[in-house]
Chain A
Amino acid sequence: MNAQTYLRFADRLSTWSGKTFAWLIVILMLVVSVEVFKRYILNAPTAWIFDLDAMLYGTLFMMCGAYTLSQDGHVRGDFLYTNMRPRTQASFDLALYILFFIPGIIALIYAGYYYAGDSWRIGERSNVTYEGPPVAPFKTVIPIAGVLVMLQGIAEIIRCIDCLRTGAWAERTKDVEEIDVVEEQLAHSEFVDEESRRAAIEQAHNIDEAAHQRSGTKL
């Protein structure tokens, strides 16, 4: 398996797992709403609901870590970074991936593996309520999410090396971004004239990028 195949594989794996687990937010919303109905209207609260909510939320964010990484969505201090040349960016990134990312995530996988293993062995149950639900599957999320993030991190390292060689970053998979809301809001607007609407929709991504670089010249 060469590097490019791996890169595609990792991106796809992260995106797939992230988008799958992203739907937990809809489930979480439904669970919370139903519980509000049950607790406040039927006066029949559910004992294990706190555990369920936490499990849905915890799984959601842990399992989406790799997806976020593959979309470069983890917050960075981008003030200086965005104004560097790609090669400089890549060399900093490469160094720090090896120095910080790899030890951190390996430790997470290693520690999470034994943490979850202990939990499975003793059949641990949540102590929020008496005889709470088993927590071992939830704890198992830690090492699994760690492995996913690790796989994506290796892909990012390959990206850095690639960029160091070619001098430009490889394109990322297209995905929805926050600024896309501009299109959604303006596409059918009756109050904004056609021309400025189209200009804004087309320029939205450039504007977003330029704003992060605080660059007045690119506008």
Chain B
Amino acid sequence: MSDPALGLTMLVLIVAAIMMGFPTAFTMMGLGMVFGYLAFYRPDHHWLQNEVFDLFVQRTYGAMNNETLLSIPLFVFMGYVIERAALVDKMFFSVQLAFRRVPASLAVTTLLVCAFWGIASGIVGAVVVLMGVIAMRPMLSAGYDVRLASGVITAGGTLGILIPPSVMLIVYAAVAGQSIVKLYAAAMLPGFFLTALYLIYIVGWALISPKIAPKLPPDRYKVDVPAWLKSLERGRAQRVLGGLFGALLRPGAAPAGTTYFTVVKNALAASIPVVLTLALFAAAWWYVVIHNAPEAAPAPTKPAAVQEAPATLPEPPGAAPQGEKEGGLQELGTAEAQVEGGAPARESGMPEEVGSLQALPVEGAGQVPENFYAWFWGLAVLSALVLLVYYLRMDGEQLEILKLLVESVMPLGVLTFIVLAVILFGITTASESAGIGAAGALYLAGMSKYPRRVLWSSLVGLLIGGGLGMMRADVVTVIVSASLGAVFAGTALPWAWDLATNKRLLRTIKESTFLTAKTTAMVCWLFVGSALFSAVFALHGGQQLIEKWVLSMNLTPLQFMIVAQAIIFILGWPLEWTEIIVIFVPIFIPLLTHFNVDPILFGTMVAVNLQAAFLSPPVAMSAFYLKGVSPPHVTLNQIFAGMMPYMVIVIICLAIMYVWPGMTLWLPEFLYGR
């Protein structure tokens, strides 16, 4: 017995049960069971011999074997560990110094830190509460407009669920049967584009009416330069590099008030931008010339990317380490090098399953895309020039800021960059890079509690690894084994020491583990429920009925897209993203082919759309989180008023994405082909 009417009843019942607030996973299991039993019921069979039982258990087992969902616990775990390891207040402080001369600098900083920290963690409530405590008061006491201050926190806080590595995109990939890698590549540009639109809005508003974001009094962003460093500054421009270099050459005569060791440390910190740039270019070179040269790459060289990329560069923070406009430029230059230089080789690569990679069977050995060398060296020269200017103009203050950034932003930046780079360039699968990311997060957690111990252990590991690598006299092996040794020793030794003695890290890992268990169980049980529910729904012809109904309306693709996004937008008010993606999005997916909408584009647009849904008054939870930590004079209405413009920006972004699908689809097509 199967009947479209029963299918529709299911849909009505599920909506009703969700409204009543019953755990959605079990609602779907129960409904799927009952209606599935009816569908398969045969009067001549024993009542326990019903095929719905087989369907249910096979769907469950399917979810337990789902390779896409496998990355969820790993990414979630990585997020929870990072949340506890990367101190967001330090990050805010140092980024604020770096951007001190930009209009509305506090708001810009808030947005960047929210986006950056959200990339790693992605839990809206926690981000908004934390930034509310850390950034709201400084902004209000600096005389910022309440709407500006609250809007930027709430809008920034939701960015984390969009920009990869985001769990929402994994769930969509599992629901829609798309590859995570492609979705990540697709969400990359819109994510940064949306962030850029937010920034333009903030800076533009501050430029038009400067009174909403008064300039900070100079003492608010004064950087303390230690006396010895000041003594090294030369000339009226207070350039510091020459003096520092001079001091480095005279180990016997350290400047008054310091030790030679401190001088070395400062010099090392000053060299970080160069090291990151060099590593990035080396990685791009390795990727194009060695990694993608078929059969030319013996296995031991492969890790070079995995390991060299670490030193590569922090993406969003990357803009920060340099702290100055030049720095930003240099950053752009190098980032471009990564994309322009790194990717063309893959153009001929076919779309890969989940990115597991063999050397590509491109025509001819050692194929390097044309113009690669021109681009590569051109960008290298450009970056070198930018770095040169940056260094020549560096004064003591900038060196101090650089040190702060290196400490607070760089570690997480490098980790995020590696995790994304190895996925996007198809070096490892999504779950593998999630695993590396989680291990890297443990390294960061160790570093947040014991910075010295981690550095020394890493150094020891570096030497041992390098020594072992010497056994094979080739540079790549030495570099790889040295960096592997550093990461391994830097993680394992401090953790072992901590767990054996004062157990400060135990709480971090316990909390992260248990939270990961709960989140994973929540998402995956929901998936089990929906797997059964959607199978039974389709069995009753409910899906078909909806399809027929939608097709009978003769919508144009544009109308369909608007209707679909509007429905999802409205669903985003009362529901969490998990429920929307797992229950309601599957209803639209079969329709996409009728309207010639790319499922990847659709998924990315849903992710962007939910940003707006989570910012819409009067239901947006972020507003209430922010209200909870704001001073009493900030009203909910002010917060909502601050959020409204960002909703409009999201909708503009959606429109641009639809009109110009290239923005979303360019990167995945570029990297993996059509």
Q: Are A25 and B73 in contact (CB under 8 A)?
A: yes
Among A18, A68, A138: residue with most chain B CB under 10 A:
A68
One of A4-12, A164-172, A179-187 contacting the partner: A179-187
Nearest chain B CB to A52 CB, angstrom units: 11
Interface pair A182/B129, CB less than 8 Å apart: yes
Q: Does A74 contact B (CB under 8 A)?
A: yes
Contact in complex: A175, B514 (CB < 8 Å)? yes
Which of B126, B130, B516 lies in contact with A25, CB distance below 8 A?
B516
Q: Which partner residue on chain A sits nearest B629 by CB separation? A: A200
Any A CB within 8 A of the CB of B579: yes
Q: State whether A200 and B133 are in contact (beta carbons under 8 Å apart), knowing that A28-B73, A40-B306, A92-B22 are contacts in the complex.
A: yes
0/1 string, A23-56, CB within 8 A of B gives 1: 1011011111101110011110000001001100
**Taking chain A's interface residues, is the majority helix, strand, or loop, or is none over half, making it mixed?**
helix
Please state if B513 and A185 are interface contacts (CB–CB under 8 Å).
no
- How far, in Å, is A67 (CB) from chain B's closest CB? 7
With a CB–CB cut-off of 8 A, which chain B residues contact A219?
A: 624, 627-628
Chain B residue numbers with a CB within 8 Å of A84 are: 21
Contact residues in A for B484 (Cβ distance below 8 Å): 37, 41
* Docked pose: A52 CA to B209 CA in angstroms: 60
In this complex, what residue of A is CB-closest to B133?
A200
- Say yes or no for A189: interface residue by CB 8 A criterion: yes
A59 to chain B, nearest CB (A): 8
A75 touches B29 (CB 8 A): no
Q: Which residues of B contact A199 (CB under 8 A)?
A: 629
Give residues of chain A (55-75) contacting chain B, Cβ–Cβ below 8 Å.
Answer: 57-62, 64-65, 67-69, 71, 73-75
* Interface-central residue, A32, A101, A142, by most chain B CB under 10 Å: A32
Distance in angstroms from B164 CB to nearest chain A CB is: 18
For A42, list chain B residues within 8 Å (CB).
Answer: 299
Question: Nearest-CB distance from B99 to chain A (Å)?
Answer: 16
| Cβ contacts under 8 Å, B523 to chain A | 61
Kindly state whether residue B480 has any CB partner on chain A within 8 Å: yes
Q: Is the Cβ of A26 less than 8 Å from the Cβ of B513? A: yes
Interface residues of B in 495-541 (CB under 8 A from A): 508-511, 513-526, 529
Select A75's contact among B23, B66, B87, B432, beta carbons within 8 Å. Answer: B23
The reply to whether the CB of A3 lies closer than 8 angstroms to some CB of chain B is no
Asked if A157 is at the interface (CB within 8 A of a chain B CB), the reply is: no
* Contact of A79 with B574 at beta-carbon distance under 8 Å, contacts A41-B302, A104-B32, A112-B60 already known: yes
CB pair B624–A32 under 8 Å, yes or no, is no
User: Residue on A with the closest CB to B532?
Assistant: A104
In chain B, what residue has the closest Cβ to A208?
Answer: B125
Taking a contact as CB atoms under 8 Å apart, the answer to whether B521 and A101 are in contact is: no
B7 to chain A, nearest CB (A): 17
Bound CA span A215–B621, Å: 9
Contacts of B130 in A (CB 8 A): 181-182, 185-186
Distance between B141 CB and nearest chain A CB, rounded to angstroms: 11
B56–A111 contact, CB under 8 A? yes
CB atoms of B629 and A64 under 8 A apart: no
Are A77 and B436 closer than 8 Å at their CB atoms? no
A91 nearest in chain B by CB position: B20
**Contact between B628 and A35, CB atoms less than 8 A apart:** no
Q: A54-B64, A67-B521, A80-B20 are in contact. Are A29 and B26 (CB under 8 A)?
A: no
- Encode contact with B along A171-206: 1 for CB under 8 Å, 0 otherwise: 000011111111011100111100011011001101
- How far in angstroms is the closest Cβ of chain B from A120? 14
Task: List A contacts of B232 (CB < 8 A).
Answer: none
With the chains together, A110 CA to B599 CA distance in Å? 37
A43-B300, A57-B69 in contact; A216/B627 too (CB < 8 A)?
A: yes
With both beta carbons as reference points, the residue of chain B lying nearest to A206 in the complex is identified as B628
Closest to A77 in B: B18
- B353 → chain A, closest Cβ, in Å? 12
Shortest Cβ distance from residue B56 to the other chain A in the assembled complex, whole angstroms = 5
| Contact call A82/B521, Cβ cutoff below 8 A | no
Complex: A61 Cα to B518 Cα, angstroms: 8
Q: Is B439 an interface residue, CB under 8 A from the partner?
A: yes
Contacts of A185 in B (CB 8 A): 83-84, 87-89, 130
Among B21, B524, B525, the residue within 8 A (CB) of A78 is B21
Determine if A80 and B19 form an interchain contact, defined as CB atoms under 8 angstroms apart: yes
Complex alpha-carbon distance, A18 and B211, angstroms: 54
Cβ–Cβ < 8 Å partners of B522 in chain A: 68, 73-75
A77-B18, A200-B129 given as contacts; is B29 within 8 A of A68 (CB)?
Answer: no
Across chains A and B, which 10 residue pairs bring their CB atoms closest together, nearest first? A81-B21, A100-B30, A32-B435, A58-B64, A43-B299, A207-B628, A104-B29, A22-B517, A79-B574, A111-B53
Sample 15 A-B pairs with CB under 8 A, ordered by A number.
A18-B521, A23-B513, A25-B513, A33-B435, A53-B70, A61-B517, A68-B517, A77-B18, A77-B575, A97-B22, A111-B54, A182-B130, A184-B83, A191-B92, A192-B133
| Further pairs besides A100-B17, A176-B511, A182-B129: 14, Cβ < 8 Å | A21-B517, A25-B516, A28-B74, A61-B64, A61-B517, A77-B575, A79-B575, A93-B21, A111-B53, A115-B57, A178-B126, A192-B134, A200-B132, A208-B125
